[in-house]
Amino acid sequence: MASQHYIQPDDDDDLDDLSIPGYTHPSLSPAEAQSKGKSRAVPDQLAPPSPLSGNIGSGYRAATKSTVAGVRVETRYTGEETLDEPVTATITRDLLSIYHKLLQVLYPRRTGSGREVLRDWDLWGPLILCLLLGIMLSINAPHSQSLSIFTTVVGIVSVGSLVVTVQAKLLGGRVSFFQALCVLGYCVAPLDIAALIACFVRLVWVRAPIALLAWAWCIWASVNFLDGTKIEQQRILLAVYPLLLFYFILAWMILIL
C-alpha cells in the first residue's frame, strides 16, 4: 500500500511541513533514495523499511517501493551506516557487487541465493563493459576510423539493449525494464574477453572460433534470463532473434578488426 495519510479536518491550519502527506524530507530526495546505501538511515515517518522478503544470508534487503508525493520511489538499505566509511570501502562494495552480478550472468548457479543478486540492477557494470569493448575495438583500428568505430560500438550496444528490452516487453514478457537492460549489458562480457584476445592474436583461424564461442556464450547467458520472463513458448524464438543479431554484429566487428 502506498504510504498515504488522510488529512484530518482539524489539521487544516497546521503549517508544520512534516505533517503534510507526501512531503519529502530534504535529506531524502528521490534521487538520493535510489543510490544504494549512500544516504543516511531513512527518517521514521516517511518510508519505514517494509518487512523483508526472502533474501536469507545475503547483505541485501529487498528494495521497498512507495509513492511519495506522487512519485514512485525505490529505497534500498544495506543495513549499516555508510556515510562514515572510507571511500575505498564504498567503491569496493560496488565493485564487488558488479563482480557478483557478472559471475551470476556468465556462470549461473542453480541455488537460490545466486539469483537474488540480479534483482539489484545497476547500470555501471554494463557501462564499463560497453566502454571497454569500444576501447579495445578502436585501439587497433586505422587512425582515421577509430573514433567512428568507438561511436558505432557504444551506439550499437546501448541502442541494441534498449531495442531488445522493448521488444521483449512488447511480445508480452513480464520483465522489469531496467533489470532487462542491466542483464543484457552484462551479457556482453564474453565479447569483451574475445576482444581482449583478438587484440593480441592476428590469425583469423584463431579469432573466428573464439568470436563464435563468445557469441554462443552471450546468447546462452541471455536466453537463461529471457526464460524467466514468461514469454509464450511459440514466441520465444521471436524474442531471442534480436539478441542473435545484436551479438552477432558485435562478434563480427571483433572478427574483422
Partner 1 sequence: MAYQSVEADEVTFLPLHPRGYYQPPTPGANASFWNLEYYQKYFDVDTITVATRCYTTLLPLSPSYLSAHLTPSPDLYGPFWTLTTLIFCLYVFSSLASSLTAYLSGAEVDYNFSLLSIAVTLVYSYGLGFPVLLWVVLRYFGVSEWSVVEAVAVWGYGQFVWIPVSILCVIPVPIVRWVLVGAGFGVSGYFLVANVYPVIATAEAKAVRGLVVLVAVLHAALALTFKVLFFSYYIKEIGESARVVLSDS
What does the binding site for partner 1 look like in residue numbers (CB under 8 A)? 145, 148-149, 152, 166-167, 169-172, 232, 234-238, 241-242, 245, 248-249, 252, 256-257
Task: State in angstroms the smallest separation of the CB of 248 from partner 1.
Answer: 7
Task: State in angstroms the smallest separation of the CB of 239 from partner 1.
Answer: 9
Q: Given the complex with partner 1, which of 166 and 193 has the nearer CB atom?
A: 166
Task: State in angstroms the smallest separation of the CB of 39 from partner 1.
Answer: 31
- State the residue for C-alpha cell 551506516: 81
Task: State in angstroms the smallest separation of the CB of 123 from partner 1.
Answer: 20
Cα torsion 182, 185, 187, 191 to 10°: value is -170
d(CA 106, CA 54): 24
- First vs last Cα of the chain: how many Å apart? 54
Distances (CA, A) of 133 to 4, 74, 144, 193, 223: 46, 31, 19, 9, 21
Task: State in angstroms the smallest separation of the CB of 28 from partner 1.
Answer: 30
Q: Given the complex with partner 1, which of 113 and 145 has the nearer CB atom?
A: 145
Q: Given the complex with partner 1, which of 8 and 144 has the nearer CB atom?
A: 144
Task: State in angstroms the smallest separation of the CB of 192 from partner 1.
Answer: 20
Classify the phi-psi angles of 67: left when phi > 0, otherwise alpha if psi is within -120 to 50, otherwise beta: beta
d(CA 21, CA 19): 6
CB 113 within 8 A of CB 58: yes
Q: Given the complex with partner 1, which of 52 and 170 has the nearer CB atom?
A: 170
**Residue 65 host element (H or E):** strand 64-68
Q: Given the complex with partner 1, which of 99 and 177 has the nearer CB atom?
A: 177
d(CA 69, CA 81): 26
Q: Which amino acid is at 74?
A: E
Distances (CA, A) of 176 to 5, 95, 169: 29, 23, 9
Q: Given the complex with partner 1, which of 91 and 256 has the nearer CB atom?
A: 256
Task: State in angstroms the smallest separation of the CB of 221 from partner 1.
Answer: 21
Q: Given the complex with partner 1, which of 188 and 231 has the nearer CB atom?
A: 231
- State the residue for C-alpha cell 509464450: 232
Residue 202, SS3? coil
